[in-house]
Structure 1
């Protein structure tokens, strides 16, 4: 611990003991006993974990022992700057004034301050607790301290244990206080029981001593319960089994109460057999229990009447409480009725399945009251847009169904759908806000003798799924091909879920290279599906379905865990993979538990980067995304912007997000050799990155010309088939050791350099 100057020449922190804890001024000695004693003390100090410091102001010599430095995260052979004021800034702000005073008193020889404790900033940034012990050992003729010697000990673990114990004690005490549980401990051999204050209050024995004879409890037992309870207690003591019972007591004030008791035996540190237990007053609980039992008996007696009432209520409950429209139960009843009518009258049954678009955003931003108002508005529009004979139902959430009996050749259903979409897209004023939503509509029309209304409803649902998939705010008619697509998508969805259980999703890796040296700079992790039938599938074959299943985040997490394990394997094999980058979905960025899940992986700071697609809107990301991005930085996880140049991230959003790296989309790289305009555009992006201190990676590097041009433009990192294709983890070590990506490029670069020197420069075209 550095000490404030006690002498005009003292300008540095405490000196310390020599490399093996040898005190300053101790020189080599030929006396074997002295050397042995010195060695013994040195080893003892090292073994004890004491960091020794020695301030010799007369000789202007300060010294720290290696242990003293290690405690603070310094190397044992590291020089100490010795600036007292600079060291003082490492002391916790709450402890600083105290430490200054304590050092002054310690230098003055005040025995009250020979030992004091404080917090100091460790080299890795955390706070550690130091136990400082020191004393003056030499003074000059004026009584001014000329030498102060002492030790520092890291007591952080002890302090944390003390705080944990204190916290647990507070929790236990609070829990007992809240639950009004009284606790006792009985010495079986000496027939003495120690009651806490809560137990004394429960038994109405205020003013009694905490240590009470064993018979005090027995005297409080209700006369009708005493024999039974005492008999059970005696048998418990004899057998050593736990005691659990409910009984009545007569309190000190004469009031009768019901007590529930539990106790267990243990042997203390002195080998004494003791009993610890808890009592709590359950008088009100028992009364409530009895009342509930009476109510239960009454309910069972009236069960038939209630069942009859329930059937009546269910029959009448065919309408939605919010909109007043028929509900799903009413719709199920009407399907068969309307189908029978259509078959009898030679008409077709048209079913429109309507789903409101952007309704969830209104609900989430303006609240459920606003959402309810929008549902009521939508119900009003639907009810007043159809004929009186048509049937409109709300079947749940933001979904509605319309049943229409139409002429099989009529095209009026399409007109109705267009009108509904147009009306529902109109803004709705709510509490000063213009709320906008739309509608996607699936339509199925069926008629004839084999009309199946339930199947027609399923067909309308399929058509709705297609309408939403094609961009929303539109309508689609059912077709057999749409059904086939749905069946195929359903089959693929089932296979994805099975594949997750079977760990069929695996990482592939594409190496990234320094544009100047072609050294390995990192690796991008790519998700692949090892399908048991179709082989290795890329994300374009399964990503859309995975997003519908809401399992993209699960796949991201699995790929990250596998990538971290593969990186550890590569490092063990002596390969240097500076960084792995993994894709992160927009939905995963909204996960409130993302930080907790990542901390559990114990990711090495700087070893991982998360790639955000530029198509994820960075300009208006919500609070959850912003909070998670902040957590990523705290965990030492870098942020990369993927596919830059083809999305919609603005320069302002880049400044706000401050990513570590931009990845230029392969579409901008592809035409570099042929297009001067493309080279100017890519060069501008690289210049933007350099001005913002952001590294730039080029994707889609497929030819030697790409490599040459991008190096000339100042790109930092290259990734593409010209250097390395995606490969499984097992192929990475042999590929890197072979260095095949360098073959031919070294000679080509030498030739290019020679030609540039030999030929007059000219503007690239």
Structure 2
């Protein structure tokens, strides 16, 4: 159907309209418009639809008056708007219009009266598609809501952070401001957050006077270098007083030259107080760790620190340094006779004496046990040290009353000073120790000064110690065998194994020359074990040749006697018919009263080893001590045997020891038998075994077989003393 009067042209709407309406003008005007345009006559019949409307909303040919328009939600709304437009009103409203593609589009509809002259002949409508705009608006509103919610969430987080968060900036002219401050920042700084935003200076007015410049310097440095601000500083809070704050802020330079810091501030007062308390506690512990709890004077650790400080200070090192080493004499006897409480009382008294004897610039310490040291003030000499020793002797001479009993004590002193031998304090301490050993060797209660001669002796000892270490590596220690003669039959009863050092010079060095140095480097036990193993190999070799040695006696050091290794070694030994005996020095019997020592003695006896007490009669061991060990043999000290014909006292002591042995059921061996006259006399006294150069000097292992095969009983025809090594 063609619209009357339209001519059926290209743009003519395909539906009829009232004869008085000419739509050709509408087609010319609106056909190419981008918005949908249409027209209705007064009856509501659609008479025009441009291409945009056709494309967007489909063909309206079938729309008739009275239909509910797509441009209104309800029939009533459409009737109302239609009537208003026909009465000359222009109406604009929003609807969702259905489209030819299905889903509706958000549209803005305008209805206006269509006039011909003064007459309203219909309604002119224009629909603008607002779908994209509305979608953008919805997305924008959704994004804005997301931003709002995120900001609110961040604000809640910032307000609940136990500190303050800020954005602070300074422009190139030096003007500063807080562009953001969390609600907690103001109160943290002793002001309000609003005050910070209005006046940034209010954030700095409470800085501690001693720290304010540090804060400003940190900001200025960060402004120049863009390095983060990381610092702790103090403020004087108007309500809380002194507070510690930690600041961390990262800078960013903007194109206009501003530097903006994004940061936070936390109150670390409690943390700093705890740190101060810990530091104070550490210092207290440090002080306590430098004090000997018993005597109240400094301890070894403090002494080491003083020595290190002296060595590290060139000014002090340039001055004379003098050190006194002190060791109490017979202190063990005080503990043993009066008890450890008395020993502690003596040590406390010594501490008092030391404090009283030294000067204000002197230092004293207890090194441990009954050992003490005095380090004199810089510049003091040996003479000053001797004066202190003299004063100490006077103070120590006064006996200490402990629980109604007098405790008397004395000490030995060693002095070393750089005014005699220039040296650093560390070495002087060792030199003073060497002087102390010299004093003790002179008989206790003595004073010795480290001199050139003592220095040379110490150098020799150190050299000897190094040589002994090398000798052990080169296996230069070898056994010699000292015959022991049966006093009744005159036959060989056994041998004492004696250590010799086969020196590279060709000499056989005696123990008296190397044992002291070996004790210093703690290798006597190693030498004991080597002698034991090598001697047993000699025994096994001789047994293979049909020669049986009745008994071998070995000297055992204190360290080996207390080492479980000695039990393992003994259990592995294979001696055939040879009896093994261990000789313990009389001093060991006296001094070693530990459970370990007693257990080892019992285990040795159970393994078939005989126990002998060597050098008996030297005056150290008591009869009670001997009974505790229950030895098989007592060996009389050669210092009693050798002079027995020239000293009635020695002769009587020898006879008394033999009688003691007979009473206790203990065999007696006499050492130091130099002549047959000695041998016969000792035999007649009842001595069981004789040992000395009257029968032979110590024999090397290679000569042992020859000695045994050519030996004749002593008392059946006296064999002359063997000469040789």
TM-score, reference length from structure 1 = 0.48
- When residues 655 and 330 of structure 1 are mapped into structure 2, their CA distance, relative to the original with a 3 A threshold, is closer
- When residues 590 and 494 of structure 1 are mapped into structure 2, their CA distance, relative to the original with a 3 A threshold, is same
Cα deviation 1:433-481 (Å, max 9, x = unaligned) = 9988765433234459988656655544443443354455543222111
1:392-471 to structure 2, matched below 5 A, reads: 392=364, 398-405=371-378, 411-421=383-393, 423=395, 439-446=411-418, 456=428, 459-471=431-443
- When residues 446 and 507 of structure 1 are mapped into structure 2, their CA distance, relative to the original with a 3 A threshold, is closer
Structure with max Cα Rg: 2
Number of the residue aligned with 2:520:
548
Shift of 1:687: 4.1
Shift of 1:580: 0.8
- When residues 520 and 453 of structure 1 are mapped into structure 2, their CA distance, relative to the original with a 3 A threshold, is closer
- When residues 718 and 383 of structure 1 are mapped into structure 2, their CA distance, relative to the original with a 3 A threshold, is closer
Shift of 1:696: 2.7
Cα deviation 1:156-190 (Å, max 9, x = unaligned) = xxxxxxxxxxxxxxxxxxxxxxxxxxxxxxxxxxx
1:509 to 481, 489, 493: 481
- Give the SS at the match of 2:631: coil
- Give the SS at the match of 1:591: coil
Contact 2:310 2:317 in 1 (8 A): no
2:310 to 328, 335, 345: 335
Contact 1:395 1:401 in 2 (8 A): no
- When residues 448 and 439 of structure 1 are mapped into structure 2, their CA distance, relative to the original with a 3 A threshold, is closer
Number of the residue aligned with 1:591:
563
1:526 aligns with 2:526: no
Number of the residue aligned with 2:580:
608
1:93-132 to structure 2, matched below 5 A, reads: none
Contact 1:615 1:649 in 2 (8 A): yes
Cα deviation 1:528-550 (Å, max 9, x = unaligned) = 11122262011111122222333
1:502 & 1:566 partners in 2: Cα distance? 19
Number of the residue aligned with 2:290:
320
- When residues 490 and 369 of structure 1 are mapped into structure 2, their CA distance, relative to the original with a 3 A threshold, is farther
1:593 & 1:585 partners in 2: Cα distance? 13
Number of the residue aligned with 1:746:
716
2:446 & 2:569 partners in 1: Cα distance? 40
1:536 aligns with 2:508: yes
- When residues 428 and 681 of structure 1 are mapped into structure 2, their CA distance, relative to the original with a 3 A threshold, is closer
1:117-156 to structure 2, matched below 5 A, reads: none
- Give the SS at the match of 2:539: helix
2:421 & 2:480 partners in 1: Cα distance? 56
1:448 & 1:508 partners in 2: Cα distance? 44
Number of the residue aligned with 1:390:
362
Contact 2:324 2:375 in 1 (8 A): yes
Cα deviation 1:380-428 (Å, max 9, x = unaligned) = 54334322233445677855342224676x8443121233355467777
1:450 & 1:681 partners in 2: Cα distance? 51
- When residues 684 and 492 of structure 1 are mapped into structure 2, their CA distance, relative to the original with a 3 A threshold, is same
- Give the SS at the match of 1:723: coil
- Give the SS at the match of 1:388: coil
Number of the residue aligned with 2:207:
none
1:700 aligns with 2:672: yes
1:643 to 609, 615, 636: 615
Number of the residue aligned with 1:733:
705
- When residues 608 and 457 of structure 1 are mapped into structure 2, their CA distance, relative to the original with a 3 A threshold, is closer
Number of the residue aligned with 2:688:
716
- Give the SS at the match of 1:404: coil
Shift of 1:491: 0.9
Number of the residue aligned with 1:569:
541
2:392 & 2:316 partners in 1: Cα distance? 25
2:677 & 2:509 partners in 1: Cα distance? 30
- When residues 544 and 669 of structure 1 are mapped into structure 2, their CA distance, relative to the original with a 3 A threshold, is same
- Gapped runs of 5+ residues in structure 1? 1-305, 750-765
2:653 & 2:331 partners in 1: Cα distance? 40
- When residues 657 and 502 of structure 1 are mapped into structure 2, their CA distance, relative to the original with a 3 A threshold, is same
1:448 & 1:725 partners in 2: Cα distance? 45
Structure 1 range deviating more: 324-333 or 569-578 = 324-333
1:574 & 1:720 partners in 2: Cα distance? 26
1:437 & 1:431 partners in 2: Cα distance? 16
Number of the residue aligned with 2:531:
559
Contact 1:515 1:718 in 2 (8 A): yes
Shift of 1:359: 7.3
Contact 1:702 1:720 in 2 (8 A): yes
TM-score, reference length from structure 2 = 0.50
Contact 2:589 2:626 in 1 (8 A): no
Contact 1:338 1:405 in 2 (8 A): no
Shift of 1:610: 1.3
Cα deviation 1:705-764 (Å, max 9, x = unaligned) = 33433444443323222322211122111111122565xx53579xxxxxxxxxxxxxxx
- Gapped runs of 5+ residues in structure 2? 1-274, 720-725
- When residues 402 and 729 of structure 1 are mapped into structure 2, their CA distance, relative to the original with a 3 A threshold, is same
Number of the residue aligned with 2:253:
none
Shift of 1:333: 5.9
- The aligned length equals 438
Cα deviation 1:303-355 (Å, max 9, x = unaligned) = xxx9xx99x98999587154474824641465269873796xxx854333445
Shift of 1:619: 9.1
- Give the SS at the match of 1:574: coil
1:651 & 1:367 partners in 2: Cα distance? 22
- When residues 741 and 379 of structure 1 are mapped into structure 2, their CA distance, relative to the original with a 3 A threshold, is same
- When residues 546 and 332 of structure 1 are mapped into structure 2, their CA distance, relative to the original with a 3 A threshold, is closer
Contact 1:619 1:650 in 2 (8 A): no
Structure 1 range deviating more: 431-440 or 522-531 = 431-440
Contact 2:549 2:577 in 1 (8 A): no
1:396 & 1:622 partners in 2: Cα distance? 21
